[in-house]
């Protein structure tokens, strides 16, 4: 109960709108009791999280914490949310053009792809991290850079490979250079999709798209490719995939073969998984299944169909077939501690005492119980980071270069 009440002091209009009336604003006098209870709960929770329990066992201890809102509201709202993390995408305007897309072009860089990746991911990497970037390099802004900083703050020995045609350029190099100068290992690589998808279920799907046999749909192909590339790159090389709107708060070395739920029902059973964070060993069978599902059910016109819905579909199927698969579904607290609807609240400066206390408690909770925070870029990219806000404070304590953020 405690963390529910804790949430209710959020001041975003949108969250008020969706809170149930019985959760109305918390009153000041009860607040310290609540904070105390919350802290206890969080400590218990953090411990169970750290010991890497499955969603079910964690939820068993904490299911009262997870009652967010009714499933029907959720279903209604989730339609809007499963959108893009990357704006400004080049759109193929017709089928004919698809074979001429930049992303299919052969260049010296694409032919060197596999060699560059294996050379970069050497024995000195304490973790292999991957991101994709499909927008122009000039759109890789301060927010995305903060995601990189937070990754290296908590995982200084990690190696980050950004699969991107646009960032694998002189311009992209200039963006990443400050991190390289500090000794962090990051490289943007233009992918060779044929070699990435070779000997996977994605191979024939990709051939069809390339030759124009399959309609890529109205929604930009590149976005859907990003959903597939993350699966293929983990399948081929193994490691951690992260969206560029994910602020890392913890060292990922304890995680293996895991993905996260973004929502759970009253009993603690997940209702939607997300693919913004994926941690898998090379050749993990579930990645193969994800790609198989992608290739057989691809629908370029349905929001989320090849992304978050896809991983949810496959995992659900596997769970109904019985316990197997050797992977862990982590509770929302792990990667998606804040619902996309409420994400705005994290960007707001404290407005009164109750709000300040709520911010402290939330920061404490995030710091101890979450591996990171997905920022739902679609909802939050235009929000200003206010001074003293949760995001502002998290970023100041999880940066490595630490440029001023309150203007960005
Ligand atoms: C991708 O790599 C393969 C070798 O692995 C090479 O034969 C092919 O030409 C490359 N394709 C592109 C587009 O560079
Ligand atoms: C994670 O933390 C451990 C222990 O502090 C450290 O040895 C390891 O290098 C860290 N991982 C990364 C990727 O930096
Ligand atoms: C299951 O995954 C764990 C790591 O998450 C690994 O240590 C173990 O060997 C795997 N077991 C099987 C049967 O693949
Ligand atoms: C069929 C399908 O999943 N299309 C997707 C293309 O990419 C966007 C962005 O990720 C998705 O929202 C669409 O659903």
Q: Count the residues in the chain.
A: 408
- Identify the band that residue 299 occupies on the pLDDT scale cut at 50, 70 and 90: confident
Ligand 3, residues at Cβ distance < 6 Å: 256-257, 326
pLDDT at 110: 87
C-alpha closest to that of 210 among 226, 188, 224, 193: 193
Q: Contact 202/233 with Cβ under 8 angstroms? A: no
- Which of 29-33, 51-55, 148-152 is modeled with the greatest confidence? 148-152
Q: Give tens-digit pLDDT for 71-107.
A: 333 333 333 333 333 333 334 444 444 444 666 778 8
The alpha helices in 91-131, defined as continuous H runs, are: 95-98, 108-111, 113-120
pLDDT at 70 over 80: no
Q: What is the mean pLDDT of residues 290-296?
A: 90
Q: Give tens-digit pLDDT for 208-245.
A: 887 776 665 544 677 778 899 999 999 999 999 999 99
Candidates 239, 286, 326: which one to mutate for ligand 3, based on the most atoms within 8 Å of Cβ?
Answer: 326
Measure 37 CA to ligand 4 centroid, in angstroms: 41
The structure's pTM equals 0.76
CATH number of the 95-335 domain: 3.90.550
Measure 376 CA to ligand 2 centroid, in angstroms: 27
Measure 223 CA to ligand 4 centroid, in angstroms: 6
The greatest distance separating any two alpha carbons of the chain, rounded to the nearest whole angstrom, comes to 67
Q: Contact 289/318 with Cβ under 8 angstroms? A: yes
- Which of 188-197, 339-348, 378-387 is modeled with the greatest confidence? 188-197
Q: What residues have CB less than 8 Å from 317, skipping those under 6 apart?
A: none
pLDDT at 339: 86
Averaged confidence pLDDT in the chain = 77
Q: Over pLDDT 70: what percentage of the chain?
A: 71
- Identify the band that residue 362 occupies on the pLDDT scale cut at 50, 70 and 90: very high
Candidates 103, 134, 223: which one to mutate for ligand 4, based on the most atoms within 8 Å of Cβ?
Answer: 223
pLDDT at 63: 35
- Domains of the chain, residue spans: 95-335
Measure 37 CA to ligand 1 centroid, in angstroms: 58
Minimum CA distance residue for ligand 2 atom 2: 251
Distance of alpha carbon 298 from alpha carbon 290, whole angstroms: 11
pLDDT at 214: 64
List the Cα angle 116/152/226 in 5-degree steps. 55
Q: What residues have CB less than 8 Å from 110, skipping those under 6 apart?
A: 190, 191, 192
- Identify the band that residue 24 occupies on the pLDDT scale cut at 50, 70 and 90: very low
Among the bound ligands, name the one nearest to the CA of residue 217: 4
Among the bound ligands, name the one nearest to the CA of residue 254: 2
Q: Give tens-digit pLDDT for 368-394.
A: 999 999 999 878 888 899 899 999 999
Least confident window among 63-67, 161-165, 386-390:
63-67
Least confident window among 214-228, 253-267, 351-365:
214-228
Minimum CA distance residue for ligand 3 atom 2: 326
């Amino acid at each position: 109960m405690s963390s529910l009440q804790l949430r209710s002091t959020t001041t975003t209009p949108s969250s008020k709108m969706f809170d149930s009336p019985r959760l109305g604003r918390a009153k000041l006098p009860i607040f310290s009791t609540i904070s105390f209870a919350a802290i206890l709960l969080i400590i218990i929770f953090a411990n169970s999280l750290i010991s890497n329990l499955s969603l079910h066992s964690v939820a068993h201890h904490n299911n009262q914490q997870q009652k967010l809102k009714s499933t029907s509201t959720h279903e209604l709202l989730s339609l809007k949310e499963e959108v893009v993390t990357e704006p400004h995408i080049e759109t193929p305007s017709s089928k004919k053009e698809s074979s001429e897309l930049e992303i299919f072009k052969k260049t010296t860089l694409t032919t060197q792809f596999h060699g560059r990746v294996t050379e970069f991911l050497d024995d000195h990497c304490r973790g292999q991290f991957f991101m994709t970037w499909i927008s122009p390099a000039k759109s890789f802004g301060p927010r995305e850079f903060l995601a990189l900083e937070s990754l290296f703050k908590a995982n200084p020995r990690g190696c980050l490979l950004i699969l991107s045609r646009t960032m694998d350029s002189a311009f992209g190099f200039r963006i990443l250079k400050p991190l390289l100068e500090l000794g962090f290992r990051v490289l943007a690589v233009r992918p060779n999709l044929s070699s990435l998808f070779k000997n996977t279920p994605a191979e024939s799907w990709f051939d069809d798209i390339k030759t124009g046999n399959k309609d890529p749909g109205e929604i930009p192909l590149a976005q859907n490719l990003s959903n597939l590339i993350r699966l293929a790159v983990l399948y081929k090389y193994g490691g951690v995939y992260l969206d560029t709107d994910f602020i890392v708060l913890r060292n990922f070395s304890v995680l293996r073969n895991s993905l996260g739920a973004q929502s759970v029902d009253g009993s603690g059973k997940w209702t939607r998984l997300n693919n913004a964070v994926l941690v898998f060993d090379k050749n993990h069978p579930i990645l193969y299944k994800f790609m198989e599902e992608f290739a057989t059910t691809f629908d370029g016109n349905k929001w989320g169909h090849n992304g978050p819905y896809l991983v949810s579909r496959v995992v659900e199927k596997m769970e109904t077939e019985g316990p197997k698969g050797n992977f862990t579904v982590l509770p929302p607290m792990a990667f998606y501690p804040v619902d996309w609807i409420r994400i705005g609240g994290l960007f707001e400066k404290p407005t009164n005492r109750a709000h300040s206390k709520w911010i402290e408690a939330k920061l404490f909770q995030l710091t101890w119980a979450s591996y990171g925070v997905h920022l739902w870029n679609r909802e939050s990219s235009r929000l200003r980071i206010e001074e003293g806000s949760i995001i502002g404070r998290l970023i100041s304590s999880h940066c490595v270069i630490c440029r001023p953020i309150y203007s960005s």
